[in-house]
Amino acid sequence: GENVEQHPSTLSVQEGDSAVIKCTYSDSASNYFPWYKQELGKRPQLIIDIRSNVGEKKDQRIAVTLNKTAKHFSLHITETQPEDSAVYFCAASRSFQKLVFGTGTRLLVSP
């Protein structure tokens, strides 16, 4: 079955810096890669997702890149702000199969 590894587990940056979180997956048939943000005590919420027919997707300050050959994908946050502080989860799945989550990255943005 699918296995998703996520790094780093903790990331501290200064406000305005960029943050990058990386994930690798094991199932070459996976075709959907979402990223979820979970603020303290809240529910996970989708912030961006990418499908296997696309190499990169951007939405304002966040972007996701996918390298199918290497089976890894990354989340990039530019111009970080204190409100970006949260736990971020990557995930991978293929159609009709379960979504497998990474172990999470705790991002702390200091003012």
Partner 1 sequence: DTAVSQTPKYLVTQMGNDKSIKCEQNLGHDTMYWYKQDSKKFLKIMFSYNNKELIINETVPNRFSPKSPDKAHLNLHINSLELGDSAVYFCASSPTQVANEQFFGPGTRLTVL
Can residue 12 be called a binding residue for partner 1 (CB under 8 A)?
Answer: no
> CA 58, 63, 68 angle in degrees (round to 5)?
100
Can residue 94 be called a binding residue for partner 1 (CB under 8 A)?
Answer: yes
Can residue 44 be called a binding residue for partner 1 (CB under 8 A)?
Answer: yes
Query: Two tokens at 94?
Result: 């293929």
Can residue 42 be called a binding residue for partner 1 (CB under 8 A)?
Answer: yes
Can residue 66 be called a binding residue for partner 1 (CB under 8 A)?
Answer: no
Q: What burial letters (b/e) apply to 20-50, b meaning 16+ CB within 10 Å? A: bbbbbbebeebbebbbbbeeeeeebeebbeb
Give the residue with the Cβ less far from partner 1, 40 or 111: 40
* Total interface residues for partner 1 by CB under 8 A: 23
Residue that has been written with the tokens 């304002």 in this structure: 60
Burial class (CB in 10 A: 0-12, 13-18, 19+), 99: middle
Can residue 85 be called a binding residue for partner 1 (CB under 8 A)?
Answer: no
64, 89, 107, 109: residue in contact with partner 1 (rule CB under 8 A) = 89
Residues in touch with partner 1 (CB under 8 A)? 31-32, 34, 38, 42-46, 49, 87, 89, 93-101, 103-104
